[in-house]
Amino acid sequence: MPKVEIKRKSRLTRQEVSERLIALGKALADGSEIELSSGGDSIELAVGDSIEWELEIEIDGDETELEIELKWKDNPESATVESGAVAGGAAAADSDAPSDSDSADGSDDDSDDDSDSTALEVIAIEELEVAAELEEDAETKLEIAAELEQQAAAELIVAAALEDDAEIELETAELLDVETLVDDDNPAAEGEAAPGGAPAK
């Protein structure tokens, strides 16, 4: 099949971008074919079972660009477009602006670039917010780990103190055993002789 390339650019609100992404996701989840339409034009794509996903985020000063690209090869029984792509968070064919080939001079309009950048910036901000939440979760986990480590250190100190107490008790028991042996070996410890040579009763 000959190579086919369709491009559309438009300025959308965050809600509109969200709706298009959700519609694309539902179409992918519901079956192997998706239909993308814009400005009266529509194209139907057969999506392969295995899809290559690529995410790229580029921040240059006050401009942010987020690019999501999906690539796949047709299943053996499919005879439609060889591959599809999603750029800037929306299907390349899913837009309201005319294609480059439809324009008189074949060049991009500055307003199209601005709208595309705005949509990409909105998506990038959402991605960064998710990343920030994940970072906060990681920090929380590190704090919990530090607290557990402190508790473990405290438990080790307590165990060492208990071990010292046990050693002191053993030493005390040994001293008591020694005193008992000394008392057993000394008959005078059991009783003293009475006056006149008679043993004490």
* Amino acid code (one letter) for 142: L
> What is the per-residue pLDDT for 58?
93
Q: Are residues 91 and 150 part of one domain?
A: no
Report the pLDDT averaged over residues 25-46: 80
Is residue 115 domain-resident? yes
Q: Are residues 92 and 178 part of one domain?
A: no
Is residue 93 domain-resident? yes
Q: Are residues 72 and 151 part of one domain?
A: no
Q: What are residue 151's phi and psi, to 5 degrees?
A: -65, -40
Q: Are residues 122 and 152 part of one domain?
A: no
Q: Are residues 55 and 122 part of one domain?
A: yes
Least confident window among 1-15, 83-97, 125-139, 185-199: 83-97
Burial of 170 (0-12, 13-18, 19+ CB in 10 A): exposed
Q: Is the pLDDT of residue 196 over 80?
A: no
> What is the per-residue pLDDT for 86?
42
Is residue 6 domain-resident? no
Residue 153 belongs to what domain range? 145-184
Q: Which pair of tokens denotes residue 75? A: 């299943």
Report the pLDDT averaged over residues 23-47: 81
pTM of the full predicted structure?
0.36
Q: Are residues 48 and 24 part of one domain?
A: yes
Q: Are residues 178 and 128 part of one domain?
A: no
Model confidence over 63-113: pLDDT tens digits?
999 998 989 887 765 544 434 444 334 343 343 444 444 444 444 455 555
